[in-house]
Amino acid sequence: MDKKLESVTIEGKEVALQPGFPVRFACMEHFDQELDDYVNDFEAAPDTYRADLIADEMDKRCRECGAPAKVALLKEKGL
Ligand SMILES: [Zn+2]
């Protein structure tokens, strides 16, 4: 399920998110696929971070297979 948030904390810094763009997670195996899906679904290339850099409590499992995620896909505001 997509998580729609106003901001996330990445490496101790609050990062504002573009409204309407969810935070998604992917394992390394499905990263390319999730990247394509994000672009297809939202017509914008996401910003990517290591999943473990995101401090917020959330379900960090791969959207595709449910494995612990390695990468977070999100869209920063104003970039
Ligand atoms: Zn996966």
| Domain residue ranges of the chain, discontinuous segments joined by + | 7-74
Show the tokens assigned to 9: 């904390």
- Ligand 1 mean position to 56 CA, how many Å? 20
Measured in Å, residue 7 CA sits from the centre of ligand 1 at: 24
Q: What is the mean pLDDT of residues 50-75?
A: 96
Q: How far is the CA of 32 from the centre of ligand 1 (A)?
A: 10
Q: Report the pLDDT value the prediction gives residue 1, as an integer from 0 to 100.
A: 56
35-52 pLDDT, tens digit per residue, is 999 999 999 999 999 999
Give burial (CB, 10 Å; 0-12/13-18/19+) of 34. buried
CA–centroid distance, 67 to ligand 1, in Å, is 6
pLDDT of residue 70: 98
The predicted pLDDT at position 79 comes to 55
C-alpha of residue 27 to centroid of ligand 1, in Å: 4
